[in-house]
Amino acid sequence: MIAVGRDGAVDLGGEVASLRATLPRVTYRVAGRPAALAPTRLDGPPDGPWTAEDAHLRITLAARPAAAPGVDGTVLRLSVTVVGDRPVRLDDATLLATGGPGGLRLGAGPASWSLYRNGWNSWSNARAFTFDEADGDPWLFAIADTTLDPETPRRREPGRFRSELVTALADREGSGGLVLGFVGGARCLSVVDVAAEVPGGALPHDDPGPGRLVELSATCRFDGTTVDPGATTTTEDLLVADGPDPVGLLEGWAAALGAAQSARVPARPPHGWCSWYYHYAKVTEADVRRALAAADGVAADVPLGYVMVDDGHQQAIGDWLATNHKFPSGMAALAADIRATGRDAGIWIAPFLVDPDSDVARAHPDWLLRDEAGEPVTALWNQIWNLRKRQQVLDCTRPDVVAHLEEVARTLARDWGYRVLKLDFCFAAALPGVRHDPGRTRAQALRAGLDAVRRGAGDDAVLIGCGLPLGPAVGVVDAMRIGTDVAPAWGGKVTRWAFSDQGGISTRIAMRNTLTRAFLHGHLWSNDPDCVMVRTDRTRLTEAEVRFLVAAVGLTDGMVVSSDRLDKVPPERLDLLRLCHELSGGRCRVVDLFAGPEPETVVSVKADEVLWGRFHWGDAPTAVSVDLDGPHWDGLGLARPTQVVEAFTGATLPVDGTRVDLGVLDPHDVRVLRLPR
């Protein structure tokens, strides 16, 4: 599968794709001077490991066959040893890089490829692109602050893509695809860069060819960490695999990462009620108690495993144990009353953020992450918290910060009784800065903070990650937000422009990630697609859009979390929440993940039936039909039905050959066909 030639190239040859890559490259600094080890040949036996050396570093590349089920590929790992007598500051370690003719063979070439681009954290966008599209950083600072790694900027140029942690290429002609994904994320943040020129993109318009691959490289970021003489550090493992089923490759990668990093996957996704999307920061104790009372009334239809107080209980960001006047009984008493109803109590914190005016920031200025100039690093500006000042960040490589985080989590979870913790804005702990421990990467600093929270909260606590980079979270969180915030509005053209169609607050963008990141579910954690709003008060979501939300969350088997005033929700809307639970529980496949920016077809396989969802993203009423034919149908092993029942309308629809006519769908509507097994 893999060979390293004396001419200095790695050959990864598969049935579907083959890759001819240059050797590893490591950039570093010694005594402040930038340097690179970029060998033109490696030494070693034919099947490795292979080494190269300069005056400061020795690098060793090792390859082994991938062990992941259903994934036939190679895993690469690079070790870096400091052989000189001076400490080295490591920047980037590129495990493989290629480009130009012969660099990558897949189908006819880049003009027929789709690329899966994954964003940095929970809120960042993920979707398929074609190489005539451009994908740059959002222009609005508020969106950039919360969705981007500032160390991995993206230019807005057609055909140039930067994906975090994993990418996959699919041949749209159907021959298959290639996945390049890191099967570790607790040690390094990582990126895969892919650039190609195609007709209609950066190439001249009259160029009819299959396009040119310009660059493909996979890199671990060491963030300038110091490695001492004699010490060795290693990259995360990189999985490179090809095969006929590109979505299956992404699933295989997720399974491999989950196994390698001991993912915590709950037997069933947690479900409950969250205060945020109705009460927002104005939430009061009375609101939560009213929700609790309503929960009993709807329990027969809508199980609520937990009741969560989101943002709004604390006195200041950072002072998590100081409750504001809106919760007069105190948070421990409230948790006790929630638990007395048989439900878990949940609470929101942003563990690594501190408000500049908080007690913790004033008492411990030395706890703050600082930049090279000694100024506190700031993560974002949130007008709800502090109109005048940006939020600051804790340095999680400090033992006193770790002890503080542990103590906060211990108090919330064990003393107060909040077994469910939503950990928000966690990206902050991985921002660039000068850390107390110069030997730890940004990923390791974040991981140290997460581990402290887990230790404090205990093994049986349910941790829900949010605003959290994906790789470092695997193995700590039980559930993970995988998209931006929903809103009681779909998000039209103006939001799309303001948010550069990426993060922000938009049900449309949130639901896109619910589909495009569905394959992470059950491998890395339980996916949290954000709350399901079915209400008729305080909302501009149409009935069609509510169905869309219900179907996306249900079919992908995500957490079902209500955020309505349940005492005001009419019975026919409660029915939709019940249906959301009923649709859950299957093994889901987003069939057309690579077909365009917005997947339309989601198939969920359950014990007794197959659910076939057809999502209509368009802004106009449209006649829609479904064709059950195709490779995904063949894999389901179902008899050809002559009629099917639609889940939302209850209508029985005739099957004409393999086609089902769904009629005219409203904008942003969905239909779900129930196919008995």
Q: Which residues bind ligand 9PG (CB under 6 A)?
A: 142, 146, 276, 310-311, 348, 380, 382, 424, 466, 485
State the nearest-atom distance from the C-beta of 380 to ligand 9PG, in Å.
5
* Spatial distance between the Cα atoms of 483 and 125, rounded to a whole number of angstroms: 7
Residue 459: DSSP 8-state: T
Specify the residue, 191 or 466, whose C-beta has the smaller distance to ligand 9PG: 466
Specify the residue, 427 or 519, whose C-beta has the smaller distance to ligand 9PG: 427
State the nearest-atom distance from the C-beta of 288 to ligand 9PG, in Å.
15
Specify the residue, 172 or 313, whose C-beta has the smaller distance to ligand 9PG: 313
State the nearest-atom distance from the C-beta of 466 to ligand 9PG, in Å.
5
State the nearest-atom distance from the C-beta of 531 to ligand 9PG, in Å.
8
State the nearest-atom distance from the C-beta of 464 to ligand 9PG, in Å.
10
Closest CA to 626 of 588, 673, 579: 673
Residue 483: DSSP 8-state: S
Specify the residue, 236 or 310, whose C-beta has the smaller distance to ligand 9PG: 310
State the nearest-atom distance from the C-beta of 363 to ligand 9PG, in Å.
24
Specify the residue, 380 or 412, whose C-beta has the smaller distance to ligand 9PG: 380
State the nearest-atom distance from the C-beta of 323 to ligand 9PG, in Å.
16
The DSSP string of 301-343 is: TS--SEEEE-SSSEEETTEEEEE-TT-TT-HHHHHHHHHTTT-
Specify the residue, 258 or 529, whose C-beta has the smaller distance to ligand 9PG: 529
* Spatial distance between the Cα atoms of 408 and 331, rounded to a whole number of angstroms: 13
* Spatial distance between the Cα atoms of 218 and 420, rounded to a whole number of angstroms: 36
Specify the residue, 177 or 504, whose C-beta has the smaller distance to ligand 9PG: 504
Give every CB contact of residue 275 below 8 A, 6+ residues apart in sequence. Answer: 283, 287, 288, 291, 308, 309, 310, 312, 563
State the nearest-atom distance from the C-beta of 414 to ligand 9PG, in Å.
23
Specify the residue, 385 or 633, whose C-beta has the smaller distance to ligand 9PG: 385
- How close are the terminal C-alpha atoms of the chain, in Å? 39
Specify the residue, 62 or 281, whose C-beta has the smaller distance to ligand 9PG: 281
Structure tokens at 501: 């169609």
AA letter at 321 = L
What percent of the chain is helix, strand and coil (3-state, nearest 5)?
A: 25, 35, 40
In angstroms, the Cα distances linking 656 to 473, 511, 610, 643, 661 are: 47, 31, 19, 8, 8
Structure tokens at 178: 């290639």
In the Cβ-directed half-sphere of 541, how many Cα atoms lie within 13 Å? 28
What residue number has its CB nearest to ligand 9PG?
Answer: 311
Contact 395, 440 (CB under 8 A): no
Closest CA to 468 of 404, 517, 401: 517
State the nearest-atom distance from the C-beta of 397 to ligand 9PG, in Å.
25
Structure tokens at 89: 């500051």
Specify the residue, 60 or 146, whose C-beta has the smaller distance to ligand 9PG: 146
